[in-house]
Structure 1
Amino acid sequence: MGTVYQTFTPDAALFQTTAFPQLKTINGTNYPVMGLYYDGTVSELAYWQFKLRNYGAGVDMIVTLDWYADTAVANAVVWEAALAAITPDADTQDVETRAFGTAATVTDTHLTTTGQRLHTCSITLTGSGPLNSAADGDACWMRIARLPANAADGMAGDAVLIGWQLAYSDT
């Protein structure tokens, strides 16, 4: 029994024609930092396409987000993750219209008064709704959003996603 990890970067994100975070590279003092800038007033969505490899059917998936606040130094951000999965040669669902499973969320609070401090938080996809009937070898899409309309999201300005990781058991 082992854990499988898949890592995703901002520049691999896919976007629809509206409501998407801006992809930026900022020249830091010592190195460039690339991120998706999720707005603090409007919900924005980004998508990643991947193959589910060595997945132990029905086991929880953990989505770990690495983010920082562009300008804020306090309050919380609400993140959402949702999975769509299609089993090749078995599912009859149209690949362009497959619905996402039930979204799961996490509220993460900005720590202290240090701007642009790196934070990490995790969202667990568990149960048949959020896991979207995922199976080993599935073609998958993950949707990650910030939910500024949620009352728990009180952080002003952009939340910058610099990457995320998917983890799950292979049994």
Structure 2
Amino acid sequence: MSPQETPSSSAPGKRVLIVDDDTMMVEILAQLLEGAGHAVSTANDGQAALLAAQDIRPDVVLLDIDLPGMDGYELARRLRADPRGGAMTIAALTGHGRRGDKHLAFQAGIDRRFCKPVGSQELIAFINQPAGATAAAVPPAASISATPPAPPA
């Protein structure tokens, strides 16, 4: 599928790429973010998102975790692997709330994870943050040691 893009020349906000296979969710988010002054592009799967990201160089990527073909974790890893991927902010909008999902998201390079439904003001405030304000990092409480613990004596 080819990404759909709205012109960014008139929008003073950020370039936002929405990646979700739920077309209704995409439409709602696109309207919300365009209304907030952002230039919005959309993709319905991981491959289309990778192509769109190369073309538009988004400031922010909002992605679903459950995507057809390539899940959101893999998409985030591939976006981060691109030389320009470190500059973008990646957020997951997901229904996943299982234990460990937050850690998986941070390991994949996702800066923020929102559980659906997310409040529109919260999402817009996140997108409006200055670049680099949400650097991807594993929270200290969820970090995993590279060396296994010593066996009990």
For the aligned pair, the TM-score class normalised by the smaller chain equals under 0.3
Query: Which structure is higher in strand share?
Result: 1
Query: Which structure is higher in helix share?
Result: 2
The one of the two structures with greater contact order (alpha-carbon pairs below 8 A, sep at least 6) is 1
TM-score by length of 1: 0.25
TM-score by length of 2: 0.27
